[in-house]
Amino acid sequence: MTNPSTPYVVHELPRRFRIRYPILGHRHTDSLYLQALLENIAGVDSVRINRCATSIIVTHDGSATIQTDTLATLKTLPEAAFSGYEQDLSVPINPLMLTGLSILTFSLRVLPPSIQGAVSFFVALPTLLKGADTLLNRGLKIDVLDAGAVGFSLLRRDYFTSNMVILLLGLGEYLEQISEDKTTGLLKSLLRPQVDEVWVEKDGVEIQTPISQLYPGDLIICGPGEMIPIDGIVARGEALVNQSSITGESVPLHKKPGDEILSGAVVEEGKIAIRVDTVGNDTGLARINRFLENSLRSSSPAQKKSEELADRLVPLTFGLGLLVFLLTRDIRRAAAVLTVDYSCAIKLATPIAVKTAMYSAAHQGVLIKGANALDQLAQVDTLIFDKTGTLTCGDLQVTDVKPISRRMAQKTLLALAASAEEHYDHPVARAVVNAAREKNLQLPPISQVDFIVAHGVSAYVDGKQILVGSRHFIEEDEQINCAAADQFTEQFYQQGKTLLYVAKEGKLAGIIAMRDDIRPEAAEVLKRFKEGPIKNIVVLTGDHKKTALALQEQLPEIDQIHWELKPEDKAGIIRELQQCGYRTAFIGDGVNDAPALVTADVGFCMPAGTDLTKNAAEGILLREDLGVLVEAIDIAERNRQTIVHSFYSTVGFNSLFLLLASMGKIQPVTAALLHNLNTVGILGYSAARGLSKRSNNDSTIPAAGAQ
């Protein structure tokens, strides 16, 4: 869409320029999204947005095209840049403001008495107005306490105290801003989008193409479980599209021809062709910020209870200040009481603890999506694994290719299956395609590819329908007799192999057997789980019974194993466990795992999982190592303890300061100083404890994308 206001450069240096952009003054402009979009421009080092001044400061590498590229990006923005929640337009505290406040405060000692009052009232006016606005629109909150303390000092003509309280409040807010910005920046540094190749339809044939080689007018094909890599318009087909990671909408949207579609959305059902409008303006980094915005804005139940209690304590503090004044007629003592509140540290310590815990977990190898996921993970006592790609490597190897008809060669059967599966991102599909490539087989062109989630694929290869999938799909859903394969299947199942059935033109063409090795760390990791808070380990699989039992023999730590399951069956088993009182975590990687991920108290996706799975999960493993999940559980428990410790420390110390203030033992300036030192100290504790057990290995974690 075209913006109603035009950006323009107001100041320029060799590696820095400032842009005036009036639309930043609108409450619904998403500054986080906008910042990320600009930071994604090649050559841009950093972007700082000042909403009040409606300006953007861009620092860059000196490239001559940066300014032009930045202005071009701002002139045409996606709808997502304007779909954010109402944002705070107040001026953020900065060092220049603090310096000015300090000069004014300490200059009062040398100014004439007649001028001191005017200067102090000018300094206090924003605090007084903010307090009045809060009282009228939101009730008794912390801003009212601050305004009361300052107002009482002004009434006593204690101008130095009034200014010093404002200075200390500003300093505390600035340090809080730094803590928040630093922890958010640490998280952003770990996340990178990963969209390398897309399927493009040309002359009726789907061809895998690097995203860098897209051109306006190209048709991108997206099916179930795939992330939409570009902004565009639906040209053909219909689908249910999940845009929760972009817009926060929890309900999938029905998309049809002519509808606009956003990059970062995930197709849940259906298949669509998207016409590319523009290229080269990747919004992947913007999705990172939107992910952070959505996940960090959510609060866990424990956090909400703490915040509610903090809000309830504000009227008590205000009432105590009034009571002290009525009993003692000492405005100074009442002002000292009002400078102490509980809500700052309680409300700020939790987000910082959550962010640092997320950062620490990401360095260990797990991306956790926010406070609620951390809170749920800390309570988990039952781990539920999907088999393929989780407890096993997911790197299946084709071991046997068995055509039913003697007239069909093994290479022909493998090529047919690989052609149909080439478009499908699943461990079984990858194994078949890799086997065909290793044999240098020429794959025939395909068309009309349809995915039947958890069952198989239907495609037309050289104009003939090919079905590839489970026996249930081929025999029960498609009514194709598979009895001819029974001569091979028993032996393969005894060997713990996975079987893929291939049908051509309504008849069984053959079967393909694959072996998936157990992860080398699996046995040790399951033992470590059992040594900790995990009491129950369950495995769910769609494999044959004998294949499943073969896995349990190799991993005796498994308490339960269920086989031949459909996606809805997995979700049903999880619900049964929850009804028995278990707190569940599910770990999976396929499209068919999405129902189970959503049903579990907390769901985790493996690194090679589909986009839909990553979107549904509340955590993503960034390394192919189950051991990182052990560390994540430990971090979640430590985060829960940090929040509890911060809460009780805040209540304890501030109650002491209130007592001293109400007894007249400390002055308003001292009370404000102690309160702010306590707040900053608790924030520092929250951050430090979140990083206290960081791994010594600080190597870059493989990207997992911001879903």
Which stretch of DSSP H or E encloses residue 35? helix 31-39
What is the separation of C-alpha 694 from the centre of its chain, rounded to a whole number of angstroms?
20
* Burial classification of residue 329, based on how many CB atoms lie within 10 Å of its CB (0-12 exposed, 13-18 middle, 19 or more buried): exposed
| Residue 662: C-alpha distances to residues 148, 207, 330, 380 (Å) | 15, 75, 10, 44
Contact residues for 667 (Cβ-Cβ < 8 A; gap 6+): 161, 332, 336
Q: What is the DSSP letter of 459?
A: E
- Other beta carbons within 10 angstroms of residue 63's beta carbon come to 14
Are 108 and 119 within 8 A, CB to CB? yes
Distance CA 21, CA 3 (A): 10
Distance CA 172, CA 672 (A): 10
User: Do strands 584-588 and 382-386 pair parallel, antiparallel, or not at all (unpaired)?
Assistant: parallel
Spatial CA neighbour of 26 closest among 66, 95, 81? 81
Distance CA 207, CA 199 (A): 5
Are 282 and 231 within 8 A, CB to CB? no
How many residues would you count in the chain?
Answer: 707
- Active-site residue identified among 158, 231, 386, 593: 386
The string of DSSP codes covering 161-187 is: HHHHHHHHHHHHHHHHHHHHHHHHHHH
Distance CA 257, CA 408 (A): 41
Spatial CA neighbour of 149 closest among 348, 349, 314? 314
Contact residues for 546 (Cβ-Cβ < 8 A; gap 6+): 493, 494, 496
Distance CA 251, CA 240 (A): 9
User: What type of residue sits at position 59?
Assistant: T
The structure tokens listed for 490 are: 């028993």
Are 601 and 380 within 8 A, CB to CB? yes
Angle 28-33-39 from CA coordinates, rounded to 5°: 145
Place of tokens 């619904």: 28
User: Do strands 536-540 and 560-562 pair parallel, antiparallel, or not at all (unpaired)?
Assistant: parallel
Distance CA 69, CA 41 (A): 7
Three-state SS for 499? strand
Three-state SS for 603? strand
Are 640 and 378 within 8 A, CB to CB? yes
Q: Is the dihedral of CA 555, 559, 564, 566 positive or negative?
A: negative
The structure tokens listed for 373 are: 């996921």
Q: What is the DSSP letter of 702?
A: P
Spatial CA neighbour of 370 closest among 28, 87, 639, 687? 639
Determine whether 143 is an active site residue: no
Any idea which residues carry the catalytic annotation? Answer: 386
